[in-house]
Amino acid sequence: MTWRRAGKRDLSELLAFLLPHEWRAVPYTSRLQRLGKRAFPTPLEASVLICREGTEIRGTMLLTSAGLLLPAFSPTLDLARTIPTAPFPGWNDLSFRLYSLMGPIGEVTWLKKQLPIAPVVSVDYHLMVQNRESFARASRESFPYPAGLVVRTAYPRDLRELLPLQIRYEIEEVVINKQRYSEQACRQNLKRALRQQLVLMAEQNGRVVAKAGTNARGFTADQIGGVYTVEKVRNSGIAFRVMEELLRRIYAEKNTACLFVKKNNLPALSLYRKLGFRIAEGYQISYFKT
């Protein structure tokens, strides 16, 4: 097997490799499009490596300019036996800009052993997946519709009202080093999401109480993230209704939805199962700087 840097000429073959199991790599495939069309990332956006066995692609990874490394290998590939452990092209540069590594746990675990630096901390999740058919079959009668609840699309003009929820979500679910947390960065990320992603918000009696949306939009699959309900109104069915509406909108365009959730988040696991999600495999995010 050999590794090399990929270029525009590899885009069609790369997508043919990724799309049959796109739910495993939506953060990756979302970066292979621009304005809804296939497009290879520019050198300022990301660098891409591909691994071939003969003429066939067997693995790939994408490193964004922000330092996020996204691996994707054939699901049938035995990484320990098949992929060589020799240094990869351009690996010397990673020690200066690698911030995090994210993907299915087997791929992340193997890749960490090949990197020239070790992560500071790793967080394990369940990767859950669902398709349009399983959503249609799921029983959704468990929760009555909460009184006074309105679920609607969130727009850039809603930034101010949604920001407190996004801050609390990131502190509870995302932030590793709270001393270095930046509310300004949170604001910028939310502003970008409201422009580029599908985000829904829930209002009850005129007050914003919940949010959910996509955080990566692929060709046939969307990845969901940022699901948050204000603590005082949890366990009242609000998150269920927001997610239900989000999935309806996703399935108007795509066939698959996926998300990752911490293994000890039992309320969230219960909610997603009721909506028709199943645990597909383990998922991990490793951080090299906090």
CATH of the domain at 187: 3.40.630.30
Q: Looking up tokens 């309806």, which residue turns up?
A: 248
Q: How far is CA 83 from CA 5, 6, 32, 95, in A?
A: 16, 18, 24, 22
Q: Residue 16 falls within a domain, yes or no?
A: yes
Q: pTM for this structure?
A: 0.94
Instruction: For residue 93, name the pLDDT band (cuts at 50, 70, 90).
Output: low
Q: How confident is the model at residue 142 (pLDDT cuts 50, 70, 90)?
A: low
Residues 81 and 135 placed together within one structural domain of the fold: no
Whether the per-residue pLDDT at 240 is higher than 70: the answer is: yes
Are the beta carbons of 81 and 65 closer than 8 angstroms? no
Element (H, E) at 211: strand 207-217
Q: What CATH number does residue 31 fall under?
A: 3.40.630
Domain coverage including residue 268: 129-282
Q: How many structural domains are present in the chain?
A: 2
Among 119, 144, 168, identify where a domain stops: 119
**Residue 167, amino acid:** I
- Same structural domain, 199 and 249: yes
Which of 72, 98, 119 is the endpoint of a domain? Answer: 119
pLDDT > 90 fraction of the chain, expressed in percent and rounded: 78
282 forms beta bridges with: 126
For the cut 70, the answer to whether the pLDDT of residue 87 exceeds it is no
> What was the pLDDT predicted at 176?
87
Quote the tokens at residue 213. Answer: 């949306």
Shared-domain flag, residues 102 and 171: no
Tell me what the mean pLDDT of segment 200-213 comes to: 97
* Per-residue pLDDT at 256: 98
Q: How many angstroms separate the CA atoms of 48 and 89, rounded?
A: 10
Rounded to the nearest integer, the mean pLDDT of the chain is 92
Tokens encoding 232: 């005082």
d(CA 261, CA 210): 17
Range 238-255 average pLDDT: 96
Residue 139 scores a pLDDT above 80 = no
**Residue 265 neighbours by CB under 8 Å, 6+ apart:** none
Is residue 121's pLDDT more than 90? yes
